[in-house]
Structure 1
Amino acid sequence: MTKLIGYARVSTRQQSTDRQAVDLLAAGVRRDDLYVDNGVSGARASRPNFDRALDALEAGDTLVITTLDRLGRSTQNMLAFAEELRGRGAGLRVLNLGGGDVDTATPMGSMLFTIMAALGQMEHEIKRERVLDSIAKRRNAGRNLGGRPRIITDSQIRNARSLIDSGEPAAEVARNLGMSRATFYRRARALGLLPD
């Protein structure tokens, strides 16, 4: 008897797979045949519950996912994966691919999957380019890039510089501030307390 094996994934622990699970169950996947990875990137080759879902697939079964990006990022990897499933006699069904339901067991579904996999990879690469471009623009404009908030104030750096000027060792002053000497020097240079 053939089964539908469902797989859901989110990249961070803060995200939820609830919506994916609802869609997969509505598509006919039994709760016992639903595998979920939380906080696992699609770029990783090994995903614990994805591997379990594949182990559960037998000839005639179909792996069901909600969107193509649940499988991974690379068109080449996705196409190799679809081919591997075909070789095992299993199918792949993507619920929300191009506004409809695509099953790779059919010739039309296989063609659409190939096209959408390429488009998915292109979209990922465009997003990556935009993020890198945004970071470069913010850096060039001297704007904050985010990250950890500064704990050491500019006033503390100025006071530390005064201690060094009065003969205290720079390494010890920096250590007392809770930062490396290199970080201290970088901060002091930024404040104009040291020559560039």
Structure 2
Amino acid sequence: MSAYMVGYARVSTNQQDLTAQRNQLNTLGVPEERIYTDHGLTGTNRDRPGLNQALAAVRDGDTLVITKLDRLARSLPDARDIIEELTKKNVKLSIGGSIHDPSDPVGRLLFNVLAMVAEFESDLIRARTREGMQVAKAKGRLRGKQPKLSKNQEAHVVSLYRGGQHTTAEIAELFGVARSTVYRIVQRTPTLN
């Protein structure tokens, strides 16, 4: 029985493209029909159909090929689970052309070090994102979702609604908002007696 190369590619958002990873996997010797993908799923999400298919496709002696370790796993526990599964199946892992044998102690050590680096990078990205949001909030640039209508428009919506001359649908159409927006505006505006 001959050994096969099975590829796996992943992008985190639906706006990203898998073409570069597919091309690199082809260059590394993986045929197009043996490339499994996940689109719009983060590496921290372990329930990835494409990854599950790739892991199911590899057999004893095969090689799972990825372009970078962070495409496979973004946390150390996840990486360990995957490497454990590959070890049980006697499957090698190729990261960008560099082959690691998980049954070999040095290969296992290298994989764990790479997994720790991938997790560290992921933690850094999260920390920088939080930091950037705090700075933006402090400067008043991060205000959340802006209201659809100005305060004057909201007051007009309330007066029309409470006047009883117009239906909610008519008011919503007049201001170009959904009926639920009209209801929310009316609910949060106190009644003056």
Note whether the superposition's TM-score is higher than 0.5: yes
Pair 1:18 & 2:19 matched = yes
After superposition, give the CA deviation of every residue in 1:64-96 in whole Å (9 maximum; x if it has no partner).
10111111221111022112211111111111x
Q: State, as a whole percentage, how many aligned pairs show the same letter.
A: 30
User: For residues 168 and 183 of structure 1, what CA distance do their matches in structure 2 show?
Assistant: 15
Deviation (angstroms), 1:128: 0.7
Pair 1:153 & 2:153 matched = no
User: For residues 138 and 48 of structure 1, what CA distance do their matches in structure 2 show?
Assistant: 37
Deviation (angstroms), 1:184: 6.8
User: For residues 123 and 131 of structure 1, what CA distance do their matches in structure 2 show?
Assistant: 12
User: For residues 52 and 80 of structure 1, what CA distance do their matches in structure 2 show?
Assistant: 16
TM-score of the pair, normalised by structure 2 = 0.76
Match for residue 72 of structure 1? 73
After superposition, give the CA deviation of every residue in 1:121-163 in whole Å (9 maximum; x if it has no partner).
111112111212222232233323565x6432344135346x2
User: For residues 183 and 77 of structure 1, what CA distance do their matches in structure 2 show?
Assistant: 46
Match for residue 88 of structure 2? 87
Matches within 5 A, 1:111-122: 111-122=109-120
User: For residues 116 and 123 of structure 1, what CA distance do their matches in structure 2 show?
Assistant: 11
User: For residues 186 and 119 of structure 2, what CA distance do their matches in structure 1 show?
Assistant: 42
Structure 1, unmatched stretches of 5+, are 189-196
User: For residues 186 and 9 of structure 2, what CA distance do their matches in structure 1 show?
Assistant: 46
Pair 1:110 & 2:108 matched = yes
Give me the CA root mean square deviation.
3.2
TM-score of the pair, normalised by structure 1 = 0.75
CA 1:74–1:49 in 2, change beyond 3 Å: closer, same or farther? same
- Contact map agreement 1:64 1:92 (CA 8 A) in 2: yes
User: For residues 42 and 117 of structure 1, what CA distance do their matches in structure 2 show?
Assistant: 12
User: For residues 77 and 58 of structure 1, what CA distance do their matches in structure 2 show?
Assistant: 20
